[in-house]
Amino acid sequence: MITSLDARTGAVVAEVAEETSEDEVGALCRRAGEVAPEMEALGRGGRAKMLSAMAATLEARRTEIVETADRETALGEARLGGELTRTCFQLRFMGEVITDGAYLEATIDHAGGTAMGPRPDLRRVLRPLGPVAVFGASNFPLAFSVPGGDTASALAAGCPVLAKVHPAHPATAVLCAEALMEGASAAGVDLPVISLVFGDTAGIQLVGHAAVKAVGFTGSLSGGRHLFELASRRPSPIPFYGELGALNAVVVAPGAAARRAEEIASGMAGSFSLGVGQFCTKPGLLLLPAGEVGERLSDALAEAVRPLQAGRMLSERIADAYGTGSEGLRSQPGVRVLAGGGAQGDGSGWWGAPLLLEATGASLDGPLAEECFGPVLVVVRYQGSAHLSQLLESLRPALTATLHAELPDDEAISRSVVEITSAKAGRLVWDGYPTGVAVAWAMHHGGPYPATTDPLHTSVGAAAVRRWLRPVCYQNFPQAMLPPELRDDPGRDNAVVRRVDGKLVLP
């Protein structure tokens, strides 16, 4: 039985659902496969209308959804209210992304002579893959779960969604799914565009089912890697887009440390402790220059951390992992505690206290090179540009890399940092903090493994829709048999940006 817990007490509040059986998983997957052509047939306008209506029904049930999510996660109604606003925004945003049709990459090469000889008529467009499995995240019960970005982009692409419910917030998942389906119905779409799957065994069966054509996952490295290997071992392997998290580094160049020590210290304290450190983009490593300027910033950071209070974590499992991981860091040779946050609250629920450590060794390996999910930050001093480059080269890839610098004083060291980190991270941040991922056209939320299983794609932003599409080329097809966007006269409703005989043509 899947139960809903009160994150502030650990008590069972309700029984939400039975675990989904293998037969039920199969039936849901087969039905999604049947629905897929109808989803595509809705067209861009129909799907955009559906996404907007889904956002409206989520907003209409805001109070109930936020209260339930707060009970299950203890994230607070203010934080969750903002997350619901983001969730609704990204649903509408994905509708905007598909409206002009540029995402289809419609391309036409008319038949004719070339330097290589005669060419047939060739027309290429992106089409939906089919049913998509989405695994929700523990730390974002709305924006990265059942109604989240993977769901929004998959539906926009024309793919039905089979959502594996996260055990940390099952009641929230059910409410959100109900709201999404209400929105679909209000938009005239009476199809099971979203189905829920409960239980870890059912999730494994979901990844293995032949009807599922791709998977979106946000979670741990171990869990994601296991599912990735299952997806790869299928008789017909499928794309597995796993966001697995990583150790996100922040570099402070000497000029920035000298001029903005207190400002950077305050920002870093807020960033690594935000949401009790339970963000995949949380900075986990701070690289400071050795000497007086670095010492001053380190002291200011310790002062900023000491008043911070412990916060409730999302689940007992996450809190236990944070306790084990932070203790493992503290026990490493050359590691000392610079500052710690307040006490562990009232004793109920699961708690994590901010922790600031310093590692004095010459290299980064073992636990020091791995993500610890929770409010811990490790400070390391670098002895000049060459040592900094050595440290950065030793790190595994990550979702983000951040640089604080003052130009022109720090230009040389900045160029070196950018060159190294651009090969290791999906998003580079200048004079800011990596926590917070904007839903925008230019956003990239991804990175080389282990940050994600596919560095070519993003799970946030307009390009997220590209994961759920595949190219199809039509050779010498009659006009009536072509997708409307590829016809010589697509009509007003299907006119999109196209590349025709090598030239970009606007509708």
The per-residue pLDDT of the chain, averaged, comes to 96
CA–CA dist 24, 21 (Å, integer): 5
The band of 349, judged by pLDDT with boundaries at 50, 70 and 90, is: confident
Residue 257 reports pLDDT greater than 80: yes
Q: Kindly calculate the radius of gyration of the chain based on its CA atoms and give it in whole angstroms.
A: 24
CA–CA dist 255, 269 (Å, integer): 20
Beta bridge partners of 104: none
Residue 362 reports pLDDT greater than 70: no
Amino acid at 256: A
Q: Considering the entire predicted model, what is its pTM?
A: 0.95
Domain spans of the chain?
2-244+455-468, 248-430
CA 223 to each of CA 2, 77, 137: distance values in angstroms, whole numbers, following the listed order: 19, 29, 12
Residue 330 reports pLDDT greater than 70: yes
Is residue 243 among the annotated active site residues? yes
12-30 pLDDT per residue, tens: 999 999 999 999 999 999 9
Cβ(473)–Cβ(106) under 8 Å?
no
Burial of 198-236, coded b for 16+ CB within 10 Å and e otherwise, reads bbeebbebbbbbebbbbbbbbbbbeebbebbebbeeeee
Is the CA virtual torsion 202, 75, 51, 471 positive or negative? negative
Is residue 229 among the annotated active site residues? no
In the prediction, which pLDDT does 361 show?
74
Among 243, 358, 371, 485, the active-site one is 243
380-414 pLDDT per residue, tens: 999 999 999 999 999 999 999 999 999 999 999 99
Q: Closest Cα to residue 446, out of 436, 455, 438?
A: 455
CA–CA dist 489, 388 (Å, integer): 58
CA–CA dist 428, 412 (Å, integer): 17
Among 88, 176, 280, 372, the active-site one is 280
Secondary structure element (H or E) that encloses residue 326, with its range: helix 316-330
In the prediction, which pLDDT does 345 show?
67
CATH code for the structural domain at 248-430: 3.40.309.10
The CATH number of domain 2-244+455-468, selected from 1.10.287.130, 3.40.605.10, 1.20.1270.360, 3.40.50.12780:
3.40.605.10
Ranking 61-75, 259-273, 329-343, 491-505 by mean pLDDT, the lowest is: 329-343
